[in-house]
C-alpha cells in the first residue's frame, strides 16, 4: 500500500503575499482610444467596428504574428509564416456582413430539424436518399479540409475573411452532421464513398486561394446548392425540407463570398481572369467525369422519380433539368464576373439539350 | 374577430408584418438578421417591402419603375399568389409545391428577378429565403380575402 504523503496544508493564518507595487505601464498603450461604436438594427456587427484606424485594411499585411488589427504589435516576435498576406488574395468587401449573417442565421440539426416527421419509406427510395446523404457528407468533409487548410495561412490583418471562413467551416461541419443524421435515422445507413475527382481537385489546389475559391464556389458550391434545391422540391418529409432549405442558405453565403472575392481580385489583376477561368474549366471537366459514375446520378433519379420505376423516365428527366439549371446559374455568374466562356464551352454533360418540357 | 383583409394591399402586408415582427420563432432556425428591399409583383400591382435587422420595417405600394431599386422582386400571377397563400392558411406554413423555393424552381424563368442584374442583390433571395418564407408563413394568422373572389 502506498504511503500517504504528508499534507502541505498548514494551520493558522497564512503569511501575507508580497505583491510588487503595480506600475500600470501597459496602460495608455493604444493606437486609438475612445472608440465608441453603437449597435444598429442588426445589433453590434463586426462590420460596424471598422472605424478610425480599426477600419484601415491595408493592401499588404506585413505583420507575421497573430496581432489583432489595430493593436500594438510585439517587437521581435518570431514570424509564423503566413503566405496569404495581400488583400487582393483573399478580400471580399462583404465578408464581415456574411460572417454576421452566418452567426445570426444559425440553426442546429439536433433541434431545428423535425426528425419525427420522417416516416418509413420504400427501400429503394431510402437507399437512394442515404446514398445522396453520403455524397453530400463527403463534400462537407472536403469543404472543411479545404477551408481550414487555407485559413491558417491567411494574415490576421484580414480577420473579416478569416472569421467568415470559420463560419463556412462550421457550416460544412453542420452539413456533415445533418446529412449523417438523416442517413442514420430511418432504417438505412451510409452508402458508398463517392469516387470524386472534384474533391481531389479542391484538396490539391495549391496554386492560390483565389483559384481555390473559383472551384469551391462556382463549381462545387453552385452544384451543391442547385442539387439541394431539387432535393428540397422532391423531399419526402418536413425534416428533409428543413435540412435542404437551411443548407441552401448556408452554401449561398459561401458562393456569395466566392463571387465577391473573385470580382474584387479580378478587377485589380488582369491575369487572374485567365487563371480563374482555367481553374473553372478544369473543375467542370472533372465534374463531368464524376457524373459518368452512375451512383449519384441514379440515386438522384430514384429520389426525384419516387422509386426505381419512376427513375427511368421522370427521375432522369428531372436530373437533366437539374444539370441544366446548374449550367444556367454557372453561366450567369460567369457573365456577371466577365469570365470568358459560355454554355457551349462547357463539357458535354452540361451543354443545352432539347427544349425541356413544361413541368 | 378581426376584419378580413384583402390581398394584395398595404393593409394586408402590414398585418402580416405585425405577426412576423412579433413572433420570436421566426428569428431562429435559419431565420434572423435580414437586410434587403424586396419588391412584390402581383399581376400589375407592385409593393415594396423593407427588411431591416430582425424585422420587416415597412411596406408600401410601388411602381414598375421602382422595381429597379429593390434588391430583387418576386413576381407571380394573382392565381399563383392565391394558391400559395391558401396553402399557408390551411397548413400554418407553406408545404409541398407551395414554398417559395419550390415555386421558384418549378417556374421556367424563376419567380425572383432583378432589373439591375446585380448578382449579389438578386442572390439575397436565396440567402434570406427562410426569412421570406417565414414572412409569408406569418399570413396564416391574417384573415385574408382575395381581390378576385
The stretch A329-336 carries a mean pLDDT of 91
Domains identified in chain A and CATH numbers: 94-101+121-350 (1.20.1260.10)
Domains identified in chain B and CATH numbers: 5-75+111-136 (3.30.1050)
**Structure-model confidence comparison of residues B119 and A227, the more confident one:** A227
Between CA B80 and CA A196 the distance in angstroms is: 40
CA distance A158 to chain B (A): 21
pLDDT for A4 equals 52
Q: Angle between the A294-305 and A222-233 helix axes, to the nearest 10 degrees?
A: 30
Judge: B101–A248 Cβ closer than 8 Å, yes or no. yes
pLDDT for A10 equals 57
pLDDT band at A224 (very low <50, low <70, confident <90, very high): very high
Which residues of chain A does B29 touch, with a Cβ-Cβ cutoff of 8 Å? 107, 112, 242, 246
pLDDT for A16 equals 79
**Contact (CB, 8 A) for A153 and A210:** no
Residue B21: exposure state from Cβ atoms within 10 A (0-12, 13-18, ≥19):
middle
Whether B106 contacts chain A with CB within 8 A:
yes
pLDDT along chain B (149 residues), means of 10: 84 95 82 89 94 91 92 93 94 88 83 85 88 94 83
Chain centroid, CA A29 distance in Å: 38
Whether A60 contacts chain B with CB within 8 A:
no
Tens of pLDDT, residue by residue over A108-131, are 999 999 999 999 999 999 999 999
Whether B31 contacts chain A with CB within 8 A:
yes
**Percent of the residues in chain A that have a pLDDT greater than 70, as a whole number:** 95
pLDDT for A42 equals 83
Which residue among B57, B119, B128 places its CB closest to the CB of A333? B119
CA distance B38 to chain A (A): 17
pLDDT for A80 equals 86
What is the SS3 assignment for B40?
Answer: strand
Q: How many helices (H) and strands (E) does chain B have?
A: 5, 7
pLDDT for A351 equals 79
pLDDT for A140 equals 97
Tens of pLDDT, residue by residue over A147-180, are 999 999 999 999 999 999 999 999 999 999 999 9
Which residues of chain B does A246 touch, with a Cβ-Cβ cutoff of 8 Å? 29-30, 130
Judged against a pLDDT cut of 60, whether residue A2 lies above it is answered with no
Which residues of chain A does B52 touch, with a Cβ-Cβ cutoff of 8 Å? 41-42
Kindly give the residue spans of alpha helices, DSSP state H, lying in B2-68: 10-21
The stretch A241-250 carries a mean pLDDT of 94
* Complex prediction ipTM: 0.78
Distances (CA, A) of B139 to B5, B19, B34, B104: 11, 8, 19, 19
Which residue among B33, B99, B120 places its CB closest to the CB of A42? B33
Which residues of chain A does B110 touch, with a Cβ-Cβ cutoff of 8 Å? none
Amino acid at each position: 500500500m502506498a504511503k500517504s504523503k504528508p499534507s502541505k496544508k498548514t494551520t493558522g493564518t497564512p503569511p501575507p503575499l508580497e505583491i510588487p507595487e503595480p506600475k500600470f505601464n501597459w496602460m495608455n498603450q493604444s493606437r486609438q482610444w475612445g472608440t465608441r461604436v453603437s449597435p444598429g438594427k442588426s445589433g453590434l456587427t463586426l462590420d460596424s467596428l471598422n472605424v478610425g484606424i480599426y477600419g484601415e485594411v491595408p493592401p499588404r499585411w506585413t505583420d507575421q504574428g497573430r496581432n489583432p488589427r489595430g493593436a500594438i504589435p510585439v517587437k521581435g516576435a518570431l514570424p509564423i509564416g503566413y503566405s496569404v498576406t495581400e488583400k487582393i488574395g483573399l478580400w471580399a468587401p462583404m465578408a464581415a456582413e456574411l460572417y454576421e449573417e452566418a452567426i445570426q442565421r444559425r440553426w442546429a440539426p439536433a433541434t431545428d430539424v423535425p426528425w419525427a416527421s420522417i416516416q418509413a419509406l420504400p427501400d429503394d427510395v431510402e437507399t437512394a436518399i442515404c446514398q445522396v446523404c453520403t455524397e453530400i457528407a463527403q463534400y462537407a468533409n472536403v469543404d472543411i479540409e479545404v477551408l481550414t487548410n487555407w485559413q491558417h495561412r491567411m494574415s490576421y490583418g484580414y480577420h473579416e475573411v478569416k472569421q467568415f471562413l470559420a463560419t463556412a467551416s462550421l457550416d460544412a461541419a453542420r452539413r456533415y452532421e445533418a446529412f449523417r443524421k438523416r442517413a442514420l435515422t430511418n432504417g438505412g445507413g451510409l452508402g458508398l464513398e463517392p469516387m470524386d475527382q472534384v474533391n481531389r481537385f479542391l484538396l490539391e489546389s495549391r496554386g492560390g486561394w483565389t483559384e481555390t475559391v473559383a472551384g469551391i464556389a462556382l463549381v462545387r458550391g453552385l452544384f451543391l446548392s442547385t442539387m439541394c434545391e431539387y432535393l428540397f422540391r422532391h423531399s419526402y418529409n418536413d425534416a428533409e425540407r428543413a435540412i435542404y432549405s437551411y443548407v441552401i442558405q448556408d452554401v449561398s453565403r459561401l458562393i456569395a463570398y466566392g463571387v465577391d472575392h473573385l470580382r474584387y481580385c479580378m478587377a485589380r489583376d488582369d491575369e487572374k481572369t485567365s487563371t480563374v477561368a482555367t481553374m473553372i474549366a478544369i473543375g467542370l471537366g472533372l465534374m463531368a467525369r464524376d457524373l459518368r459514375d452512375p451512383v449519384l446520378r441514379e440515386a438522384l433519379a430514384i429520389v426525384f422519380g419516387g422509386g426505381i420505376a419512376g427513375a427511368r423516365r421522370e427521375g432522369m428527366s428531372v436530373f437533366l433539368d437539374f444539370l441544366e439549371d446548374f449550367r444556367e446559374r454557372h453561366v450567369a455568374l460567369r457573365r456577371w464576373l466577365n469570365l470568358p466562356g459560355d454554355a457551349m464551352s462547357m463539357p458535354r454533360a452540361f451543354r443545352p439539350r432539347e427544349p425541356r418540357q413544361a413541368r | 374577430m378581426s376584419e378580413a383583409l384583402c390581398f394584395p394591399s398595404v393593409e394586408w402586408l402590414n398585418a402580416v408584418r405585425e405577426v412576423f415582427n412579433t413572433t420570436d420563432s421566426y428569428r431562429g432556425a435559419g431565420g434572423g438578421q435580414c437586410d434587403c428591399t424586396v419588391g412584390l409583383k402581383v399581376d400589375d400591382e407592385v409593393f415594396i417591402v423593407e427588411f431591416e435587422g430582425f424585422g420587416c420595417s415597412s411596406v408600401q405600394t410601388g411602381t414598375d419603375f421602382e422595381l429597379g431599386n429593390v434588391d430583387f422582386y418576386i413576381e407571380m400571377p394573382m392565381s399563383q399568389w392565391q394558391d400559395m397563400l391558401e396553402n399557408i392558411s390551411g397548413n400554418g406554413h407553406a408545404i409541398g409545391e407551395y414554398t417559395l423555393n419550390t415555386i421558384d424552381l418549378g417556374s421556367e424563368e424563376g419567380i425572383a428577378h432583378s432589373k439591375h442584374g446585380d448578382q449579389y442583390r438578386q442572390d439575397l433571395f436565396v440567402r434570406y429565403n427562410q426569412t421570406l418564407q417565414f414572412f409569408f408563413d406569418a399570413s396564416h394568422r391574417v384573415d385574408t380575402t382575395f381581390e378576385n373572389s
